[in-house]
């Protein structure tokens, strides 16, 4: 079953809407972004989520101290590293981490071998001004030839309810990550969240049965 991460959550209302619709994971963005949330607000939201919902914090080149403090203060399950964090930096961490990578060419994927301890790899589009959350896709065909463990693959970048089924068929990820694809005018939309998750769950079920 492909899991769903709703990223860029800023309010309790949308966090609960995601949980109610069947999201497996929600993402809080602590890096500079229009979806940035304070540590205090994220902790308040996290406290009121059902226990089974995993919580991921998104960071760009944060220090070990910041990662540790935020992880424990919010009660995160993973830190998602979206910057130029070196393999050495990541291996020093005592926290479960997800290494995010912006994919432009197939060669970009070769870096993944250096991050052996990563719980997951999040692959995002390299197009746009931010390190993530730009709402653009990358060429999923790059993944066909790459030797990436699909059980560790989180697919991100420009996913929405119209392309998500095709994305799952082409890449077979463990998890899909959506942010702008479930927004209306830059704000999370509870109905879009629900429709997106429904599409993923339906497609995952078909995919599992067909294998």
Active-site positions read: 7, 124
Comparing C-alpha atoms, which of 30, 50, 31, 51 is closest to residue 41?
30
Rounded Cα–Cα distance for residues 76 and 159 (Å): 24
Q: Specify which residues 102 forms β-bridges with.
A: 124
Which single residue is written with the structure tokens 């990563």? Answer: 118
Is the dihedral angle over the CA atoms 209, 121, 132, 71 positive or is it negative? positive
CA dihedral 105, 181, 148, 78 (to 10 degrees): 120
Count of other CB atoms within 10 angstroms of residue 63 = 10
Comparing C-alpha atoms, which of 128, 126, 99, 103 is closest to residue 115?
99
For the record, the structure tokens of 200 come out as 């993923």
Rounded Cα–Cα distance for residues 54 and 111 (Å): 26
Q: Which helix (H) or strand (E) holds 47?
A: helix 39-47
Q: Which helix (H) or strand (E) holds 54?
A: strand 54-59
């Amino acid at each position: 079953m492909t899991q769903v991460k709703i990223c860029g959550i800023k309010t309790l209302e949308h966090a609960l809407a995601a949980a109610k619709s069947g999201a497996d994971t929600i993402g809080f963005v602590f890096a500079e972004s229009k979806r940035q949330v304070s540590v205090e607000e994220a902790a308040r939201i996290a406290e009121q989520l059902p226990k089974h919902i995993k919580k991921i914090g998104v960071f760009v080149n944060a220090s070990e101290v910041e990662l540790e403090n935020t992880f424990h203060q919010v009660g995160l399950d993973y830190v998602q590293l979206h910057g130029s964090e070196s393999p050495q930096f990541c291996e020093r961490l005592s926290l479960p981490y997800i290494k995010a990578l912006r994919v432009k060419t197939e060669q970009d994927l070769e870096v993944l071998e250096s991050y052996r301890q990563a719980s997951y790899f999040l692959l995002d589009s390299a197009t746009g001004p931010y390190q993530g959350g730009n709402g653009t896709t990358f060429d999923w065909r790059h993944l066909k030839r790459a030797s990436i463990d699909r059980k560790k693959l989180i697919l991100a970048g420009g996913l929405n309810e119209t392309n998500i089924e095709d994305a799952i068929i082409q890449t077979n990820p463990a998890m899909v990550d959506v942010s702008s694809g479930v927004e209306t005018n830059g704000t999370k939309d509870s109905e879009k969240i629900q429709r997106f998750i429904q599409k993923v769950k339906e497609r995952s079920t078909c995919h599992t049965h067909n294998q």
